[in-house]
Structures are given as structure tokens and as C-alpha cells.
């Protein structure tokens, strides 16, 4: 017996095609969201159910027809739970919503274990089926409950969504949507399938209508999703700076960015739930296309209590945690109002500390101006390196932007808006920084760390230069805020700091960069030579010493100066040498020069210039100062010609950076010809053969 094709079976193919078309349209038009994902899953299950039903009707044998019928049941029983999941995500997204999918395996297993399936061949309509139940009544009731529970859940959630919109100006449009959604599930699951099954059990020769009923359900669902879009909450107006305006800005941004719309009204429902949670339902009104808060009514609220409720909502609402950035204006404005009273400021601090995990997770701690939480600012997290880099750059920006005056901030945002938008960074009028879009772009990059370093270093530098060009005052605030954000002690902090410094040196005059690089004004090495540290930047120095003098003190001064000017320092020297003892404890990285590999620690072989150059190249960067102690030992180990070649290659490696380097040479151990040859390689020559150091050239 071959495949059979009764004409009425085409209904299943048509319904499957319509379901897949709806999936495609949802996928193309709507932004990603948990509700969209659930609806996509629903469409796939409906299409698969209809295809399996078609194969069941047209199968060439009873065994194959029965197999396709079991597959049909698998997908059919997923429809109710998936529809409930979509509505729950629209009402309030939580990961716990996924638990409703447990009804799916419960339905299927209970049906499989408590019933027998029989298939019969109808003369006109292909294969048909019948169920016989062999379980006690309580077990059958349980089976029915697992089927009915998701349908009942869809109806309850739809009614709750309608009820939550009582008194809302656009509630009538939304109610139509939710009514259509309820009808879709009632027509398909609550009435259509049970009725057609009962009729088939009574009369197996009856024509099947399951596909037609599901098609009607899909048309109702499509109608629900295409009710006029005049029900979106308008985007907030540009705020004026007081607390009411800060709230309007936050609510508008949350609606615009954090709550996606999949054309079933979820944006409006979640927005109004937030407004109701905050107790602002009677205060919010609409004017044109902006969210407006009735200021007189709003001013009667306790601002600290409002802040507490707002942060509480964000903690329990998983969807909006990522967008906590927009709450910075609310937090800082509330803090400003609290500074008038010691008691109110203390309460403000208590609220901020209570929600510290949320604030720290979103980096808002770095932008809070009025809380005494500075010691909590630079918490290290165990996360991927590229995410840590984003956090560091974001905190660096927040720490200065939150200190800027409104006019200064506004002009900077306007100046940098084009570059920021292209990058995926959003700077708001309250000094808030949102990097959600940038994070998405970075996650797709081949080398995420390089992408973050290059992109954000440029942007941070542009903000820095823009701040300095406004006034020296703003520039100092920036330096004070940004410097600590990079100096937390982990390798990622150093990478970020180095990248920013490198960009600064290439884009800005040295005079602008010096305050950023300097931790203090101490320059013990330069001052002994009568010059400034900037004259050493990017230059190699040869120090000609007399071993009878205490030259190691001058080397220690060089290391100390480089470190306090924000540069790393690597010292190549023999273990136990005078330089080794002099730099110990200063914070420099020491690489031991040796003839044989010493136990433990980093080392470079004096007899192998290739390996030593490799170590030098690996450990140095654009802002790494180097001390090499010394060329005399190198000449003895390699010979004059090889040592000369090594020095040329080492200077080429170091010449790519901006930090100084210091090479030592025992002048008394070489002929004048040799000393002159090596001197020619260095732009600066320092002699310490007399009583004091002297800059020869």
C-alpha cells in the first residue's frame, strides 16, 4: 500500500504554511525579546503539528500512521504551554516563567501512559484515530488537568493584563488585543480540538476539521498582533533637570529601550505596571508625544521612598536590570535634594547601600555624586576580560560626566553624538552612560578585547580632550575621576590605561597629557639632570658609570620617577647586583640576566641575544620604561659586534613606545672607540663618573 492523498488533508499543509509565514513576519519585524522567542516557538510547534497531522492522514501503513500521530501529539501538547509562556513574558518577564513548559511533557506522558491509540483507515479521509482509556478516574482527571491548566492560565493572564490597564487612556485598544489572544487559544485548544476529537470518536468516518479550526485561530492571532499601533507609550521629552523631569526621562527611556514590543501590547502593560508599582499612576499624563509628570502632585511624594521603590522594581524585573543606567538622573537628583539635611542624606545613603548589588552590577555606583560610597567603586569582578574592560571604561566616563555642569555636558553630548551613536554608546543628559548596544557589537567581534580597547580608548580620549577644551576646571575633574578607574591593579586595568594613554599621546599636545599620566610631581631622576620628565618621554638614555661611585641610587631614581608618572618599569639586571638591590621593593618588574637558567622567576640569557630580545619584546608596551644593567656584561658575553647589534634591535623595539629607557655601561672597562660607537645609538648621554650625574647631551 502506498501513500494516500485525500483532498481534505491539504488543510494541514495550508495551516502549516500560514504558521510559518507568521513566524517569518514576526522574526523580520520585531526586536529580540522573550515574548518574541515564545511566539516564534509557538509558530514552529503549530506548523510541525499540522505537518505531522498531514503525514498521519496520508501514511502508507497503520504503523507509520500511528507513529506520525504520536509525533502530532508531541507538538500539539506544546501549544498551550507555549502560548501561556508568551503571555507571561509580556506581563512580566522572569526566568521562572519557563516552568510552565513542564505542562508539555506532563500532558504527553500522561496521555501515552493512560491511554491506547488505535488508527483506522477511512474510505474518504485517509487514516483516522481513536483513544481508549484504561486508567482509574483520578488519573484521568490529572491528565485532563494538565491539558486544561495552560488554557486556563492564558485566560487568567489575559484578564489580569486587561485589569492592570484600568483607567489608562489607551486601554480599549489593548483590551481588544488581549480579547483576540484569548479567543485564539479558546477556539483552538479549549473548544476546537476537544470537540473535533469527540466527534471523531463517535463517528470515525467524519471529515477532519482540525486544520481549518487551527487556521481560524491563527487568523485571530494575526488580528490581535495587528491591532492599530496607536497604543505605544510616547517617548519622553528632554528633561529640565528637576526630579520630576528625571523620572520622566527614566520612564521614557525604559519604555523606549528596555521593553520590546512584539505587537501584543507587552510594552504598554509592563510600562503601566512600573508606573503603578511606583505609585505614579495618577501623576503621569501625556502631552503631545512626551511623558509628562504632574509636578505639584509629584512633589507630594517622598523622593527617597520613590527611589527605593524604583530600585526595588528594577531588582525584581530581570528585563530592565541592564538598563539601570537611565536611573542615574533620578538617583543624583534625589541625592541633591537630600543634601539639605544630614538626616535625609543618611537615609539616601542607606537606600543606595540597600540596592548596592543592582547599582554595582550596572556600574551606577561610579556615577552617584552624593552617596558616601567611594570605597565601593572599584570592585573587581570575575568575568571575561572584554567585559571587564567595558566596565572600566564605563566607570571612567561616569566618574567625570556626573561631575559636569549641565551646559558643559550638553555641549559635549552634542559634539560627540555622531561618534557615540556609531559606536553604540549613549550619553544621556544626566551624565548616564548606556553601553548595551556597544556590548552587543563587541560580542560579535573576532577579538573582543582588541575591539573594546581600540574603540573605547578613542572615545574616552575624545571625551577627555573635549572636557579640557571647555575649561581647565572640567579637565581636572576628568583626571581625578578617570585615573583611579584604570589603576585597580589587574592586568585589564593596565591594558585599558595604556591604550588610553597611547591614544592621548597621539591626539593631544603633551601639556594636556601630562596631568593624566602623572600620579605626582616627583621627578627625582630628571631633576638631578636639570630637565623635566617630558624631555625623557620616548627617548633612550645611556648611563656611563664608574663602579666606584654609588650610581645605583640614580637608577633607583629613574625607576621611581617612571612609576609615579604612570609608566610600568622592567629592570634587566643580574641577581644580587647593586642595581638589583637598589630597585627591590620599588614596584618594578625584575628580569634576571644570567648565564644559566636560575631557579624560579623570570630571566634572560646573557649568551643568547635572540631569547633576550624576545623577553624584552614580550614584557614591554607603549608605556613601559626599561632599565638594562648592563651593556658591559653583554659585550663580555656576546662580543662587541653582537652586543652592538643587540642594542640596535632593542632600541628599535623600545622606540615604538613613549616611555624612556636607561642602558648602563661601565665606561672604564672599554676603549674610547667602543664607548663612542655605543654613544652614537642614544639621543641622551648621562655621565656618572665624577661626583654627580651630568647630562652630556
Point out the least confidently predicted range of 6-10, 53-57, 147-151, 173-177.
Answer: 173-177
- How much is the pLDDT for 286? 56
CA distances from 601 to 139, 486, 575 (A): 71, 27, 11
Is the pLDDT at 491 greater than 60, yes or no? no
Which of 381-395, 462-476, 587-601, 666-680 has the largest mean confidence? Answer: 666-680
CA distance linking residue 492 with residue 656, whole number of Å: 21
**Residue 76 DSSP label:** H
User: Which one is predicted more confidently, 254 or 56?
Assistant: 56
Q: Of 149, 226, 220, 212, nearest to 179 (Cα)?
A: 220
Distances (CA, A) of 38 to 83, 88, 129: 7, 10, 30
**Over 90: is that where the pLDDT of 627 sits?**
yes
* Between 183 and 641, the higher pLDDT residue: 641
Residue-level pLDDT at 542? 92
User: What is the CA angle 75-77-82, rounded to 5?
Assistant: 85
Mean pLDDT of the chain: 77
> Are residues 314 and 320 in contact, defined by beta-carbon separation less than 8 angstroms?
yes
**Three cell numbers, residue 254:** 525604559
Query: Nearest Cα to 272, choosing from 305, 240, 231?
Result: 231
Torsions phi, psi for 185 (to 5 deg)? -75, -35
Q: What is the CA radius of gyration of the chain?
A: 36
Residue 265 pLDDT: 59
State what percent of residues in the chain have pLDDT above 70: 79
Return the beta strands (E) in 81-140 as ranges: 115-122, 126-133
* DSSP code, position 192: I
* pLDDT attached to residue 16: 85
C-alpha 649/C-alpha 245 separation (Å) is 61
Judge contact between 184 and 27, C-beta under 8 A. no
DSSP label at 100?
A: G
Confidence of residue 188 (pLDDT cuts 50, 70, 90): confident
CB contact set of 589 (below 8 Å; sequence gap of 6+)? 568, 569, 570, 571, 602, 619
Cα 466 to Cα 266: distance, rounded to the nearest angstrom: 41
Residue 274, burial from CB neighbour count under 10 angstroms (0-12, 13-18, 19+)? buried
pLDDT at 377 over 50: no
Q: 624-628 and 603-605 as β-strands: parallel, antiparallel, unpaired?
A: unpaired
Q: What is the pLDDT of residues 653-693, one digit of tens each?
A: 888 777 899 999 998 888 888 889 998 999 999 988 666 78
Q: What pLDDT is attached to residue 661?
A: 92
Is 127 a residue whose pLDDT tops 50?
Answer: yes
Given a cut of 50, whether residue 563 has pLDDT beyond it is yes
Query: Phi and psi dihedrals of 63, rounded to 5?
Result: -65, -45
Least confident of 192-201, 367-376, 622-631: 367-376
What the block records as the C-alpha cell of 173 is 485598544
Average confidence (pLDDT) over 563-576: 84
CA nearest 438: which of 424, 418, 417, 450? 424
Q: Would you say residue 625 has pLDDT above 70?
A: yes
**pLDDT confidence of residue 396:** 77
Residues 328, 362: Cα–Cα separation, whole Å: 10
Closest CA relative to residue 268, chosen from 229, 294, 306, 307:
229
Angle between helices 510-517 and 448-470 (to 10 degrees): 110
Q: Nearest 5°: phi and psi at 29?
A: -90, -30
Nearest CA among 344, 343, 322, 320 for reference residue 334: 344
Band the pLDDT of 32: cuts 50, 70, 90.
Answer: low
Cell numbers representing residue 530 in the block? 636639570
Q: Which contiguous run of DSSP H or E holds residue 266?
A: helix 266-277
Q: Which residues of 493-509 are buried (b: 16+ CB within 10 A; e: fewer)?
A: bbbbbbbbbbbbbeebe
* Interval 530-553 mean pLDDT: 86
pLDDT of residue 468: 66
Output the pLDDT for position 594.
86
DSSP symbol at 190: I
What pLDDT score was predicted for residue 30?
59
- Tell me which residue has cell 512633589: 299
Residue 101 and residue 83: Cα distance in Å, rounded? Answer: 10
**Other C-beta atoms lying within 10 Å of the C-beta of residue 374:** 12
Pairwise CA distance, residues 612 & 620, whole Å: 12
Instruction: For residues 224-246, give the mean pLDDT.
Output: 55
Tell which residue, 372, 392, 399, has the closest CA to residue 479. 399
Helix locations, 471-583, DSSP H:
472-486, 491-507, 510-517, 524-529, 552-564, 578-583
Res 260: pLDDT = 55
pLDDT of residue 203: 72
Model confidence band, residue 489 (pLDDT cutoffs 50, 70, 90): very low
Q: Note the pLDDT of residue 374.
A: 41
> What 3-state DSSP class applies to 544?
strand
> Residue 484: is its pLDDT beyond 80?
no
Q: What is the torsion angle, in degrees rounded to the nearest 10, for the CA atoms of residue 369, residue 370, residue 376 and residue 382?
A: -50
Amino acid at each position: 500500500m502506498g501513500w494516500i492523498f485525500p483532498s481534505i488533508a491539504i488543510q494541514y499543509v495550508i495551516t502549516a504554511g500560514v504558521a510559518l509565514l507568521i513566524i517569518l513576519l514576526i522574526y523580520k519585524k520585531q526586536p529580540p525579546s522573550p515574548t518574541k522567542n515564545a511566539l516564534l516557538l509557538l509558530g514552529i510547534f503549530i506548523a510541525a503539528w499540522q505537518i505531522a497531522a498531514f503525514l498521519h492522514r496520508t501514511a502508507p501503513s497503520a504503523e507509520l500512521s500511528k507513529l506520525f500521530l504520536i509525533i502530532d501529539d508531541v507538538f500539539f501538547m506544546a501549544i498551550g504551554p507555549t502560548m501561556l509562556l508568551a503571555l507571561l513574558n509580556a506581563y512580566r518577564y522572569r526566568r521562572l516563567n519557563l516552568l510552565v513548559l513542564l505542562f508539555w511533557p506532563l500532558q504527553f506522558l500522561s496521555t501515552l501512559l493512560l491511554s491506547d491509540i488505535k488508527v483506522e483507515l477511512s474510505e474518504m479521509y485517509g487514516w483516522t484515530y481513536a483513544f481508549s482509556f484504561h486508567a482509574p478516574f483520578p488519573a484521568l482527571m490529572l491528565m485532563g488537568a494538565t491539558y486544561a491548566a495552560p488554557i486556563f492560565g492564558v485566560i487568567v493572564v489575559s484578564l489580569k493584563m486587561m485589569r492592570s490597564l484600568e483607567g489608562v487612556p489607551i486601554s480599549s485598544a489593548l483590551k481588544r488585543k488581549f480579547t483576540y489572544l484569548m479567543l485564539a487559544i479558546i477556539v483552538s485548544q479549549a473548544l476546537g480540538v476537544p470537540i473535533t476529537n469527540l466527534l471523531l470518536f463517535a463517528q470515525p468516518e467524519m471529515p477532519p476539521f482540525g486544520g481549518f479550526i487551527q487556521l481560524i485561530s491563527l487568523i485571530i492571532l494575526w488580528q490581535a498582533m495587528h491591532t492599530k499601533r496607536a497604543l505605544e507609550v510616547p517617548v519622553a521629552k528632554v528633561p529640565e533637570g528637576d526630579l520630576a523631569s528625571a523620572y520622566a526621562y527614566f520612564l521614557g527611556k525604559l519604555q523606549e529601550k528596555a521593553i520590546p514590543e512584539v505587537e501584543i501590547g507587552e510594552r504598554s502593560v509592563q510600562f503601566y505596571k512600573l508606573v503603578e508599582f511606583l505609585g505614579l499612576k495618577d501623576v503621569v499624563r501625556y502631552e503631545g508625544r512626551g511623558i509628562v509628570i504632574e509636578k505639584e502632585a509629584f512633589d507630594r511624594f517622598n523622593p527617597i521612598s520613590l527611589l527605593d521603590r524604583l530600585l526595588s522594581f528594577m531588582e525584581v524585573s530581570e528585563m530592565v536590570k541592564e538598563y539601570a543606567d537611565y536611573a542615574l538622573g533620578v538617583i543624583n537628583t534625589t541625592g541633591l535634594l537630600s543634601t539639605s539635611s544630614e538626616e535625609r542624606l543618611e537615609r539616601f545613603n542607606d537606600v543606595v547601600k540597600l540596592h548596592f548589588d543592582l547599582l554595582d552590577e550596572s556600574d551606577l555606583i561610579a556615577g552617584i555624586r552624593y552617596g558616601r560610597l567611594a570605597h565601593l567603586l572599584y570592585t573587581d569582578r570575575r568575568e571575561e576580560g572584554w567585559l571587564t574592560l567595558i566596565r572600566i571604561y564605563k566607570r571612567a566616563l561616569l566618574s567625570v560626566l556626573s561631575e559636569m555642569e549641565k551646559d558643559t555636558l550638553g555641549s559635549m553630548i552634542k559634539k560627540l553624538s555622531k561618534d557615540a551613536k556609531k559606536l553604540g554608546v549613549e550619553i544621556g543628559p544626566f551624565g548616564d552612560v548606556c553601553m548595551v548596544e556597544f556590548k552587543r557589537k563587541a560580542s560579535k567581534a573576532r577579538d573582543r578585547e582588541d575591539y573594546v580597547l581600540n574603540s573605547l580608548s578613542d572615545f574616552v580620549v575624545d571625551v577627555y580632550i573635549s572636557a579640557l577644551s571647555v575649561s581647565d576646571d572640567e579637565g581636572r575633574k576628568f583626571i581625578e575621576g578617570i585615573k583611579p578607574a584604570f589603576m585597580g591593579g589587574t592586568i585589564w586595568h593596565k591594558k585599558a590605561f595604556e591604550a588610553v594613554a597611547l591614544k592621548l599621546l597621539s591626539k593631544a599636545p603633551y601639556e594636556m597629557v601630562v596631568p593624566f599620566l602623572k600620579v605626582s610631581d616627583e621627578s627625582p631622576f630628571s631633576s638631578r639632570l636639570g630637565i623635566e620628565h617630558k624631555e625623557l618621554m620616548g627617548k633612550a638614555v645611556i648611563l656611563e658609570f664608574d663602579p666606584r661611585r654609588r650610581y645605583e641610587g640614580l637608577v633607583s631614581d629613574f625607576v621611581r620617577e617612571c612609576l609615579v608618572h604612570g609608566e610600568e618599569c622592567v629592570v634587566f639586571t643580574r641577581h644580587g647586583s647593586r642595581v638589583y638591590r637598589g630597585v627591590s621593593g620599588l614596584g618594578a618588574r625584575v628580569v634576571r640576566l644570567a648565564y644559566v637558567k636560575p631557579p624560579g622567576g623570570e630571566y634572560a640569557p646573557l649568551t643568547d641575544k635572540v631569547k633576550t630580545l624576545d623577553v624584552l619584546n614580550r614584557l614591554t608596551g607603549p608605556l613601559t620604561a626599561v632599565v638594562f644593567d648592563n651593556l658591559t656584561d653583554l659585550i663580555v658575553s656576546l662580543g662587541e659586534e653582537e652586543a652592538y647589534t643587540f642594542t640596535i634591535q632593542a632600541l628599535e623595539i623600545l622606540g615604538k613606545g613613549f616611555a624612556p629607557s636607561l642602558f648602563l655601561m661601565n665606561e672604564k672597562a672599554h676603549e674610547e672607540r667602543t664607548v663612542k660607537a655605543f654613544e652614537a645609538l642614544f639621543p641622551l648621554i648621562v655621565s656618572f663618573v665624577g661626583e654627580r650625574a651630568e647630562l652630556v647631551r
